Amino acid sequence: METVLRDPIHNYIYLQDEVILKLINTKEMQRLRRIKQLGTTNSTFHGAEHSRFTHSVGVYEISRQICDLFQRNYPSTTPGDGNWDNNERLVTLCAALLHDVGHGAYSHTFEHIFHTDHEAMTVQIIKDPRTEVNQVLRQVAPDFPAKVASVIQKTYPNPQVVQMISSQIDADRMDYLLRDSYYTGTNYGNFDIMRIMRVMRPYQNGIAFDLSGMHAVEDYVLSRFQMYQQIYFHQVSRGMEVLLTNLLARARYLAQNNLFPANEQPTLLLPFFQDQVDLLDYLRLDDYVLNSYFNLWTTSSDPILSDLAQRFLNRKPFKSIQIISEEHPQIIAQIQQIAQEHGFDPEYYTGYNDCFDLPYDAYDPTQENPRTQIELMKPNGELTELSTESSLVSAITGKESGDLRFYFPKEIQPEVNQLNQQH
Q: Which of residues 182-201 bind its own copies (CB under 8 A)?
A: 182-188, 190-192, 194, 198
Q: Is 420 in the site for its own copies (CB under 8 A)?
A: no
Give how far the C-alpha of residue 36 lies from the chain's centroid of Cα atoms, to the nearest Å: 10
Q: Which is nearer to its own copies, 289 or 419 (CB)?
A: 289
Give the containing element (helix H, strand E) for 15.
Answer: strand 11-15
Q: Which is nearer to its own copies, 144 or 191 (CB)?
A: 191
Among 23, 40, 53, 321, binds its own copies (CB under 8 A): 53
Q: Which of residues 221-260 bind its own copies (CB under 8 A)?
A: 222, 225-226, 229-230
Q: Is 422 in the site for its own copies (CB under 8 A)?
A: no
Q: Is 34 in the site for its own copies (CB under 8 A)?
A: yes
Please choose, from the candidates 147, 163, 152, the residue with its C-alpha nearest in 3D space to the C-alpha of residue 70. Answer: 163
Q: What is the nearest approach in angstroms of its own copies to the Cβ of residue 30?
A: 5
Distances (CA, A) of 371 to 188, 211, 323, 397: 24, 20, 29, 12
Binding segment toward its own copies, per CB under 8 A, in 94-102, 155-163, 176-184, 326-334 = 176-184
Q: What is the nearest approach in angstroms of its own copies to the Cβ of residue 154?
A: 28
Q: Which is nearer to its own copies, 15 or 161 (CB)?
A: 15
Rounded Cα–Cα distance for residues 422 and 284 (Å): 49
Q: What is the nearest approach in angstroms of its own copies to the Cβ of residue 158?
A: 25
Burial class (CB in 10 A: 0-12, 13-18, 19+), 356: exposed
Rounded Cα–Cα distance for residues 39 and 55 (Å): 13
Distances (CA, A) of 360 to 165, 192, 223, 225, 273: 17, 18, 12, 9, 37
Q: Is 219 in the site for its own copies (CB under 8 A)?
A: yes
- Please list, in sequence order, all residues whose beta carbon lies within 8 angstroms of the beta carbon of residue 330, skipping any fewer than 6 positions away: none
Nearest-Å Rg of the Cα atoms of the chain is: 23
Q: What is the nearest approach in angstroms of its own copies to the Cβ of residue 349?
A: 20
- Strand-pair category, 351-357 with 401-408: antiparallel
Q: What is the nearest approach in angstroms of its own copies to the Cβ of residue 390?
A: 9
Q: Is 30 in the site for its own copies (CB under 8 A)?
A: yes
Q: Is 310 in the site for its own copies (CB under 8 A)?
A: yes
Can you spell out the DSSP letters for 31-91?
HGGGSBTTGGGGGTSTT---BHHHHHHHHHHHHHHHHHHHHHHSB-SSTTSSSB-GGGHHH
Q: Is 215 in the site for its own copies (CB under 8 A)?
A: yes
Q: Which of residues 90-119 bind its own copies (CB under 8 A)?
A: none
Q: What is the nearest approach in angstroms of its own copies to the Cβ of residue 399?
A: 7
Q: Which of residues 380-399 bind its own copies (CB under 8 A)?
A: 391-392, 394-396, 399
Q: Which of residues 282-301 bind its own copies (CB under 8 A)?
A: 284, 286-289, 291-293, 295-296
Give how far the C-alpha of residue 122 lies from the chain's centroid of Cα atoms, to the nearest Å: 13
Which strands form 319-322's sheet, in the order they lie side by side?
A: 319-322, 401-408, 351-357
Q: What is the nearest approach in angstroms of its own copies to the Cβ of residue 107?
A: 17
- Residue 387 and residue 362 in contact, taking contact as beta carbons nearer than 8 Å: yes
Please choose, from the candidates 38, 113, 405, the residue with its C-alpha nearest in 3D space to the C-alpha of residue 239. Answer: 405
Q: Is 378 in the site for its own copies (CB under 8 A)?
A: no
Binding segment toward its own copies, per CB under 8 A, in 76-84, 89-97, 281-289, 335-343 = 281-289
Q: Which of residues 71-90 bind its own copies (CB under 8 A)?
A: 73
Q: Which is nearer to its own copies, 48 or 331 (CB)?
A: 48
Among 18, 47, 130, 322, binds its own copies (CB under 8 A): 47
